[in-house]
Amino acid sequence: MGTAPDERPFAAGFRSLTEETDLPELKVEGALPGWLRGSLLRNGPALYEAGDRSLRHWFDGQAMVHRFTFDGARGRVGYANRFLDTPSHRAVAQGRISYPEFATDPCRSIFARVFTRFTREPTTNTCVSLTRFGERFVALTETPLPVEFDPATLETLGVVGYEDALNGQVTTAHPHQDPDTGDLVNYVTRFGATSEYRVYRQKMDGGTARELIGVQRARHPSYMHSFAVTRRYAVLTEFPLVVTPLSIMLSGRPFIENYRWEPARGTRITVMDLRDGRLRGVYEGPACFAFHHINAFDDGDDVVLDLCAYEDASVIDTLYLDRARTCGELPLSRPTRYRVGLSTGKVDVERLTPEAMELPRIAYETRNGSSYRYAYGVGARDGRRDDFLDQLVKLDVTTGETHTWYEQGSYPGEPVLVRAPDAPDAPEGAEDDGVVLSVVLDPTARASYLLVLDARTLTERARARVPHMVPFGFHGIHTTDA
C-alpha cells in the first residue's frame, strides 16, 4: 500500500508486514557482550487490511511474533517472524473482519451489530504481550484467551483454555508474578448490573487453573490496561474512563468507544491483600489516565505506585490509524509517583521527571513489587508532540536523572533489560548491570534493526539490521529457553 501525501515517515510503523522470514544470521555492527544468549521474543500488530476494509486502530492489527536469537560468544544474531495462526488472523487474511477488535466492529449495518452482539465470539488476536505459563509460552491481549506458541519455531499451538469457572469478558495483557511465590497474578472484569474485578492467582507449574484471591465490585468499570503488585497487595488503578456494561451490547459501537471520560470521578486506587483478598481500602487521587504501570512497592504503611500518566485518555483517539499515520498532536505520558497512605487515606502525587516515557521496563526479576532505582522506556526528543516516540530513556526514580539514546529519523520500540548473568542482586546500582534491547524502525532505509545498548550509559554496543521494516509493536520478553 502506498504512502499518502500527508503521512509522516514514521507512518511506516503503522503499515502491514505480510512476509514471514527465517534468517539464521544478520549482519552485526559493533560487538555483542559474550554472555548474551537466548532469544528476544516480540509481539505486536502486523496486518491491518482485510480485503477492501481496514482495521481502524493500532491496537486492532493482527498479531505477529518476532524472534531475535543471540550467540554473543560468536557475535551472531538471527531473526524470524511469523503470524499467530488464530481464527481472527485467518479471517482477516481471507478479507473478512469476523471478530470484534478494540476499535473495529465486524458488522457493517446497525441491524447486524445489534443482532449479533449477544453471540459474537471474542477476538483471539493476542497482539499485545508475551508471558509464560510454566514452560509454555503464550501471547496475550485484553480478552482472556491466551494463545500458545512454540518459541523455537514460532508455530502457533492453539488457544489455551482455563480449567476453572472464573469467567469474565476483559482482562489485562500484563499479569504479574507474585514477588514471594512466583505465581501469576491478574484480574478479569465480569460485566453485569454490578460488575466485578476478580483478582486471581495462577500457579507457575504450567497448569491453567486459577484461584480467586478477591473481588471488588464496580457499577461503572474502568478501562485498565495494566495494574501493579507489591509484596503485600494487588493495586488496581481505576482511571475515570468508564463504561456502562449494557452499552457494549446495545450501542452498536466498537468496544472502546463505549467508554466515557468522566474526570470528576478522579482516579480510584483499590488496594487488595494478595494473601486473602481482604480490601485494605479504596483511595482517591486526581484524574489521570495510563496504559502502563512502571512498578509499585510497600513503604511502611504506604503504597508507592509509579505510572506513565497522561492528563486524560485522548491518546486512545490519537492512535486510530488515520490519525496515527499523520500524528498531528501526540499526547505524552510522564513518569508519575502516587504515594498512597493506607491509614491516612491521603494520596500524594509527584512527577518523577519532565521527560516523556512509555512502554516502561525495570529489572523485573529482582525488583518487581519492591523498591527500585531504574526504569527504561521510550520517549519524545525535547518533548515534541508533532513526531512519534523517537528516543529511549533511562530514569533514576530516586534522583530524577535521565540518560537518553537518540538517532535522528529512527523510532525505537520498548526497551527490554537483560541483566548480565553475574550481576549481583543486592548491591546498589546492580539493577542496570547488563544490556537494553530495542527494535528500531529506520524509515529512510526502509528497514529495522535490533539495537543493543549498555544498560548503565545507554551507549551503543551493537546493532543487527533486518532486511525489512518491522511494524511498531508493543511488548516482548527475553528468554534463555529458546
For the chain, what are the domain ranges? 9-354
CB 7 within 8 A of CB 317: no
Q: Report the percentage of the chain scoring pLDDT > 70.
A: 94
Phi, psi of 464 (to 5 degrees): -135, 120
CB 150 within 8 A of CB 139: no
**Residue stretches of the chain with pLDDT short of 70:** 1-5, 107-120, 423-429
The DSSP string of 196-261 is EEEEEEE-TTS---EEEEEEEEESS-B--S--EE-SSEEEEEE-SEE--HHHHHHS-S-GGGG-EE
pLDDT for the residue 204: 85
Q: From residue 215, how far is each of 159, 200, 211, 237, 468 by CA, in Å?
A: 26, 9, 12, 15, 46
Per the listing, cell 542496570 goes with 432
Query: 430, 434, 302: which is closest to 366 by C-alpha?
Result: 430
pLDDT for the residue 1: 45
pLDDT for the residue 4: 59
pLDDT for the residue 113: 44
pLDDT for the residue 5: 54
pLDDT for the residue 430: 81
Q: How far apart are CA 337 and CA 41, in angstroms?
A: 30
pLDDT for the residue 111: 43
The model's pLDDT over 78-103, given as tens digits with 9 standing for 90+, comes to: 999 999 999 999 999 999 999 999 99
Neighbours of 158 (CB within 10 A): 12
The model's pLDDT over 228-279, given as tens digits with 9 standing for 90+, comes to: 999 999 999 999 999 999 888 788 899 999 999 999 999 999 999 999 999 9
pLDDT for the residue 109: 44
pLDDT for the residue 424: 66
**What fold characterizes domain 9-354?**
Neuraminidase (2.120.10)
pLDDT for the residue 248: 83
CB 379 within 8 A of CB 404: yes
